[in-house]
Amino acid sequence: MDYTVKIHIKNGLEYKTVPEGQNLLKFLNDNSYILKTPCGGNGTCGKCRIKVSGLLDKPTEAEKKLLGVEQVEKGYRLACYCHINSNIEIYPEDKQEEAKIITYGRQRKVKLNPLVSKKFIPLKQPDISDQNADEDRITAALDGLYLDSNIRLLGKLTKTLKHDDYKVTLFCEGKKIIDVESGDTTGNLFGLAVDIGTTTVAAYLFDLVLGERTDVFSVLNPQRKYGADVISRIDYTMKSADSLSDMNKTIIDCINNVISVLSQRNNIKNTSIYEAAFAGNTTMLHFLMNLPAAGIAVSPFIPVTTGPHTFKAIDLSIDINPK
């Protein structure tokens, strides 16, 4: 049986359907109403307070002790203790906290040497005296470059070359050409650096042509709904078969939202970001890569990996240029 949850938000009401017996904290998390949950829903911190009316399970002694009888009488409950057994109304308090993080500081001069680069080449158009293949035409134009053996890239080659009279931009990773774009797009090359903190996620957009930082944006890490510290979060990922992917999806969605804000604010396409670098503690990076972090929390404390890795953006579901 399903029930309706009526949610009193700042500017009105929202209605959601929920299956009988759904845990209230899970319902809130799944629907992005984020409460403070330092213990990650383990019922020990007493912070997941929310005002509710309707039939829920009776408050236990443990809940009353954490919340206080007076609060219970006023209609407050601890969300992680409650299950929804009727149509209910809830009153989430607006707890959106501004992320406060120092994102600017003194910058060092560094030699610009991005992993990716672009080269514009106006190619000679083929004719009956020049019957070189499209691939050869491209690689012959610039010494040492070679085309990635990628069937999609080969498929796109002829169309792209013809689109702008054989004036194309080669997108390269080192010497390897991994994409061909029509026209001159060399001015359109951005990179992203993301610091995934347990509390905040800070993202820096860089212009990889000028070597300058273009913008900075930071938000609170939404994984805090699974606990304030890494141990609570690892604990959460061990609860069910899906909980690790919940954790992974939460940080990926957060990063993609940040990318969307930075792209809109700077009037660029998200696909103009060609390279992203992520830094964080071992647990945060395990969650980013959807790797089990349980080994980090228990003796002898063994992570899956501590080394740097390079992946295609598409393999991490990061919304930048998929190449």
Which residues in 9-38 contact ligand FES (CB under 6 A)?
Answer: 37
Closest CA to 209 of 189, 191, 193: 189
Among 23, 31, 34, 43, binds ligand FES (CB under 6 A): 43
The nearest distance, CB 223 to ligand FES, in angstroms, is: 14
Question: Is residue 295 at the binding interface for ligand FES, with CB under 6 A as the rule?
Answer: no
Report angle CA 77, 19, 93 to the nearest 5 degrees: 35
Distance CA 297, CA 146 (A): 45
| Dihedrals phi, psi of 53, to nearest 5 degrees | -130, 145
Pairwise CA distance, residues 74 & 38, whole Å: 23
d(CA 51, CA 41) in angstroms, rounded, equals: 17
At its nearest, how many Å lie between ligand FES and the CB of residue 253?
A: 21
> What are the tokens at 134?
């499209």
Using CB under 6 A as the binding rule, whether residue 80 contacts ligand FES is answered as yes
Residue 48 found at the interface with ligand FES (CB under 6 A): yes
**Is there binding between residue 54 and ligand FES (CB under 6 A)?**
no
92 touches ligand FES by CB under 6 A: no
Taking CB under 6 A as the criterion, the residue among 26, 47, 64, 323 binding ligand FES is 47
Residue 255, CA distances (Å) to 175, 183, 303 in order:
29, 30, 23
Q: Would you count residue 170 as binding ligand FES (CB under 6 A)?
A: no
Euclidean distance between CA atoms 283 and 268, whole angstroms: 32
Structure tokens at 45: 């911190």
Taking the complex as a whole, the smallest distance from the CB of residue 79 to ligand FES amounts, in Å, to 6
Binding span for ligand FES by CB under 6 A among 46-54, 124-132, 216-224, 277-285: 46-54
Identity of the residue, 43 or 54, whose beta carbon is nearer to ligand FES in the bound complex: 43
Residues lying near ligand FES in the complex (CB under 6 A)? 37, 39, 41, 43-48, 78, 80
